[in-house]
């Protein structure tokens, strides 16, 4: 992989290098990484056909045990190449190499293993029908068929794992579309699935723009389900495009997650958690704790100490193991962050802190400095909408009731954090927050066993855990009359005469 400078699409068991070539540059320093072939609409359709054939001819008849065994082999293969994956992930996204080596790649490997080893998912369960004692029922969790997976650019390897491992485990074949900005580790995963022994077409990976590749997937009649992660705006478009063929759609969308710090917290611990909660990956994580809600009595001390911690973060080349500050993954995103912050400040927000990094980061790279802002006007766009960058907004609250009110006053509901030594209070607050994941005295930590997803406009459906696997299934009920006798002599009101 390290010497490969050209990546093609993975279609029907082969890397297809034919098509439009695009040069990828690293957001870390602007250097050229290599060329990627974008799939045309026709190539995407070929990939869908190949996944449909793989589903019908092979994967549907492959046992759950064998599917798990292949996932185990895939985890092993990625593990052997983990340094290459980490290097490629950081070059392509601009995230620090330390993060790729200690988080994205090892967590992705662990999560493939989780799906290879978990034993909660059963392909069927038995029921009895209380109304009809002589009958039994079998509820089967059948695969959907071909799943179209559309992924964003912020955590490309993890996202590829989350969208493919549970879907394959549940018996589906997958056409994965990584972001055209960051397709490299997903394409490598497609190659390694073949190396591990997955049948051709079980996992096809096609990259290119959303308007061509994503739209073809969303509209295809041969795809039964779309699993999408990205912005709320694009998620709505995908949902609408998928409706023409009545596809199942799961959406993991944007957030504006509150990190609620009570005065009775362990301040040292909470400071680290708030920093980790927002500045990891330079804020380009969907569940980032981008709204700091801090109790009035500790606000000044908290913000001042947080600024000092940010001051101590090391900016530099993300490919250097000692660097803390990740680059921004693409120019479009850097422009969005810059515009939102500038408009927020013009609209009355106050800049509380901004780290000086420009002289230290590589000149050809894309960077936004870790920043803290505040405003008493909670209606400002910058306090309501996802920035997806290293910009924390600070809002103070007086008491528990007000904290909950402010936290829930959002169109989004992906995640939240609660910091307090009073665990009962923290749990009480957590249970009233309208969000899919709530950490108490913690942030960001992900478990493959725990379903994640959003309330409100943060999404529909869940990823990971048993609930995440079940999303990739459809329920079939088989009703068996064991006794060969009529269960209802009046057949729900229709009297059927005996004899001819």
**Residues forming the active site:** 252, 286
Minimum distance from CB of 295 to ligand NDP (Å)? 28
Spatial CB neighbours of 364, under 8 Å, sequence gap ≥ 6:
29, 30, 31
Residue among 217 and 403 whose Cβ is closer to ligand NDP? 217
Minimum distance from CB of 385 to ligand NDP (Å)? 8
Q: Which stretch binds ligand NDP (CB under 6 A): 48-56, 64-72, 135-143, 147-155?
A: 147-155
Minimum distance from CB of 229 to ligand NDP (Å)? 5
Residue 286 interacts with ligand NDP (CB under 6 A): yes or no: yes
Q: Contacting ligand NDP (CB under 6 A), which of 305, 336, 354, 425?
A: 336
For 299-318, the three-class secondary structure string (H helix, E strand, C coil) is HHHHHHHHHHHHHHCCCCCC
* Spatial separation of the C-alpha atoms in residues 331 and 368, rounded to whole Å: 11
Strand, coil or helix: 135 = strand
* Spatial separation of the C-alpha atoms in residues 259 and 119, rounded to whole Å: 34
Residue 234 interacts with ligand NDP (CB under 6 A): yes or no: yes
CA distances from 458 to 67, 235, 280, 461 (A): 31, 10, 20, 10
| DSSP code at position 429 | H
Residue 454 interacts with ligand NDP (CB under 6 A): yes or no: no
Q: How many residues bind ligand NDP (CB under 6 A)?
A: 28
* Spatial separation of the C-alpha atoms in residues 179 and 287, rounded to whole Å: 19
Q: Contacting ligand NDP (CB under 6 A), which of 38, 59, 121, 153?
A: 153
* Spatial separation of the C-alpha atoms in residues 416 and 436, rounded to whole Å: 8
Q: Which residue has the tokens 């070539």?
A: 21
Q: Which strands make up the sheet holding 32-38, listed edge to edge?
A: 6-7, 32-38, 20-25
Minimum distance from CB of 223 to ligand NDP (Å)? 12
Contact 127, 478 (CB under 8 A): no
Minimum distance from CB of 174 to ligand NDP (Å)? 15
Residue among 188 and 252 whose Cβ is closer to ligand NDP? 252
Residue 121 interacts with ligand NDP (CB under 6 A): yes or no: no
Strand 459-460 and strand 455-456: the pairing is unpaired
Task: Fill in the per-residue mask, 385 to 414: x = in contact with ligand NDP (CB under 6 A), - = not in contact.
Answer: -x-x--------------------------
Q: Contacting ligand NDP (CB under 6 A), which of 288, 333, 393, 410?
A: 333
Residue among 178 and 417 whose Cβ is closer to ligand NDP? 178
Residue 219 interacts with ligand NDP (CB under 6 A): yes or no: no
* Spatial separation of the C-alpha atoms in residues 453 and 137, rounded to whole Å: 31
* Both tokens assigned to 490: 């009046």
Q: Contacting ligand NDP (CB under 6 A), which of 91, 103, 144, 218?
A: 218
Q: Contacting ligand NDP (CB under 6 A), which of 90, 154, 290, 473?
A: 154
CA distances from 334 to 32, 36, 277 (A): 19, 22, 20
Residue among 57 and 243 whose Cβ is closer to ligand NDP? 243
Nearest CA-CA partner of 457 in 435, 437, 438, 430? 435
Residue 151 interacts with ligand NDP (CB under 6 A): yes or no: yes
Residue among 92 and 295 whose Cβ is closer to ligand NDP? 92
Q: Contacting ligand NDP (CB under 6 A), which of 2, 65, 211, 363?
A: 211
Residue among 151 and 433 whose Cβ is closer to ligand NDP? 151
Q: Which stretch binds ligand NDP (CB under 6 A): 46-54, 138-146, 177-185, 341-349?
A: 177-185
| DSSP code at position 86 | H
Q: Which stretch binds ligand NDP (CB under 6 A): 27-35, 45-53, 204-212, 308-316?
A: 204-212
* Both tokens assigned to 60: 């549907």
Residue among 49 and 252 whose Cβ is closer to ligand NDP? 252
* Both tokens assigned to 298: 């500790």
Question: Could you give the residue ranges of the DSSP H alpha helices within 28-104?
Answer: 41-57, 64-80, 82-93, 97-99
Contact 329, 153 (CB under 8 A): yes
Task: Fill in the per-residue mask, 237 to 276: x = in contact with ligand NDP (CB under 6 A), - = not in contact.
Answer: xx-------------xxx----------------------
Catalog residues that contact ligand NDP under the rule CB under 6 A.
150-154, 177, 179-180, 209-211, 214-215, 218, 229-231, 234, 237-238, 252-254, 286, 333, 336, 386, 388
């Amino acid at each position: 992989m390290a010497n490969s400078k050209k990546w093609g699409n993975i279609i029907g068991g082969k890397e297809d290098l034919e098509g439009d070539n695009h040069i990828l540059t690293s957001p870390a320093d602007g250097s050229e990484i290599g060329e990627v072939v974008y799939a045309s609409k026709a190539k995407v359709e070929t990939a869908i056909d190949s996944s449909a054939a793989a589903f019908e001819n092979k994967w549907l008849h492959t046992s759950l045990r064998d599917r798990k065994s292949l996932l185990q082999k895939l985890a092993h293969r990625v593990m052997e190449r983990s340094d290459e994956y980490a290097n490629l992930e950081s070059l392509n996204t601009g995230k620090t190499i330390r993060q790729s080596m200690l988080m994205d790649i090892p967590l992705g490997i662990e999560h493939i293993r989780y799906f290879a080893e978990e034993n909660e998912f059963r392909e069927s369960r038995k029921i009895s029908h209380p109304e009809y004692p002589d009958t039994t029922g079998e509820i089967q969790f059948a695969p959907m068929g071909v799943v179209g997976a559309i992924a964003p650019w912020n955590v490309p390897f993890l996202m590829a794992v989350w969208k493919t491992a549970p879907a394959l485990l549940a018996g589906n074949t997958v056409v994965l579309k990584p972001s055209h900005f960051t397709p490299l580790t997903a394409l490598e995963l497609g190659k390694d699935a073949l190396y591990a022994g997955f049948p051709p077409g079980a996992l096809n990976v096609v990259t290119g723009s959303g308007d061509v590749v994503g739209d073809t997937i969303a509209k295809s009649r041969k795809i039964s389900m779309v699993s999408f992660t990205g912005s709320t705006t694009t998620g709505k478009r995908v949902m609408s495009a998928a409706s023409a063929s009545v596809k199942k759609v799961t959406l993991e969308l944007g957030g504006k997650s509150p990190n609620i710090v009570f005065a009775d917290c362990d301040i040292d611990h909470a400071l680290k958690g708030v920093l980790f909660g927002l500045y990891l990956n330079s804020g380009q994580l969907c569940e980032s704790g981008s709204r700091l809600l801090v109790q009035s009595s500790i606000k000044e001390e908290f913000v001042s100490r947080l600024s000092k911690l940010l001051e101590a973060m090391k900016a530099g080349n993300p490919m250097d193991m000692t660097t803390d500050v990740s680059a921004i993954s693409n120019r479009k995103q850097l422009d969005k962050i810059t515009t939102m912050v500038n408009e927020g400040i013009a609209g009355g927000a106050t800049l509380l802190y901004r780290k000086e990094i420009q002289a230290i980061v590589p000149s050809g790279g894309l960077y936004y400095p870790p920043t803290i802002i505040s405003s008493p006007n909670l209606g400002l766009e910058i306090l309501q909408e996802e920035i997806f960058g290293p910009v924390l907004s600070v809002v103070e609250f007086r008491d528990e009731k007000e904290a909950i009110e402010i936290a829930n006053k959002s169109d989004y509901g992906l995640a939240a954090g609660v910091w307090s030594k009073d665990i009962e209070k923290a749990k009480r607050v957590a249970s009233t927050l309208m969000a899919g994941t709530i950490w108490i005295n913690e942030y960001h930590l992900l478990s493959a066993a725990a379903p994640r997803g959003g309330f409100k406009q943060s999404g529909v459906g869940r990823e990971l855990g048993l609930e995440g696997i079940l999303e990739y299934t459809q329920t079939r009920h088989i009703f068996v009359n064991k006794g060969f006798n009529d269960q209802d002599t009046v057949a729900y009101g229709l009297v059927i005469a005996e004899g001819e």
